Every structure is written in C-alpha cells, then in structure tokens.
Amino acid sequence: MDTINMDELFRMARAAADAAYAPYSRFRVGAALLSAEGTVFSGCNVENRSYGLTICAERSAVVQGVSRGCRSFIALAISTPDSAEPVGPCGACRQVLSEFMESGAPVRFGGSGVKQVDTTIGELYPYDSLHDLAGTI
Ligand code: THU
C-alpha cells in the first residue's frame, strides 16, 4: 500500500471546512476520510436551528463514504480553522468512526495554528469492546 499522505488529507479537510453550515456556533469543521480503495470523502458540520440536530463534520464524511459503498476507511484528517489549537473529534464521532476504521488508522487534527495532533482511532477511542459485535448476531 502507498504511504498515506496526511499532509494532503489535512489540506482536503481544511477545504471541506469552507462548506460548513455553522451560523450558530461560527465554528467550522472539515473532515477528510481516506477509504481503503483510495477515495477521499469529505464532510463538514451542518448545524440546525434545533441545535441538537447538528451533524459533525466527521459523521458527515462517514455518511458520504458509506452512501457510496465504502465500508472501510484507513485515515482521517480534521480541520478546525476557527480555533488556533487542534480540536479532536467528539465522543459520538469517535464511536461512529470506530465502526468503519481499524484501531491503528492514523488521525490528524489541527486548527489554524502550527500545532497538529497525530494519533490513531484506537488512541482516541480505546477499550472499544463493542467493535467485534457486527456479524455475531
Ligand atoms: N463539531 C464537529 O463538526 N466535529 C467535532 O468533532 C466537534 C464539533 C461541530 C459541531 C458544531 O457545529 C460545532 O462544531 C461547534 O460544536
């Protein structure tokens, strides 16, 4: 397998943030998910005036990919251009991402500053005891 270009994936996440619909929080988020087949699916946060219906950028990207038949993603980048510091995915997104990513899959997230965090799904969502349930019932 080719080496994953996390710099390029992060640039795609940053571009995805420009499509964010975030009139309430004014906090744009972009995500770029690399599928096992080599396709990148991006997503942005989509807010709603009924605040709890907001969908995060990460889950938006998952829905894009799964809707096109992808069930396995091998890398993720998240951009939060409205924060200087990196902002990691929320708990709900960590759960959803873990459904379609192996624990060793690389994740990079960063804000507008120079600092970026390089980690893995497994580090973000450890002790994922439900991961192997699919197909057992
Ligand atoms: N948000 C994401 O898109 N991803 C995250 O992991 C954290 C939060 C969005 C939701 C909301 O539109 C805005 O950021 C502020 O919470």
Per-residue pLDDT of the chain (137 residues; tens, 9 = 90+): 469 999 999 999 999 999 999 999 999 999 999 999 999 999 999 999 999 999 999 999 999 999 999 999 999 999 999 999 999 999 999 999 999 999 999 999 999 999 999 999 999 999 876 666 666 65
β-sheet bridge partners, residue 43: 31
Ligand 1 closest atom vs CA 45: 3
Residue from 84, 87, 24, 26 nearest 58 by CA: 87
Q: What spacing in Å lies between the alpha carbon of 89 and ligand 1's midpoint?
A: 8
Name residues whose C-beta falls within 8 Å of residue 5's C-beta, 6 or more positions apart in sequence: none
Ligand 1: centre distance to CA 1 (Å): 32
Report how far Cα 108 is from the mean position of its chain's Cα atoms. Answer: 9
Task: List the one residue out of 29, 50, 37, 33 whose CA is nearest residue 96.
Answer: 33
Report the distance separating Cα 93 and Cα 61, nearest Å. 10
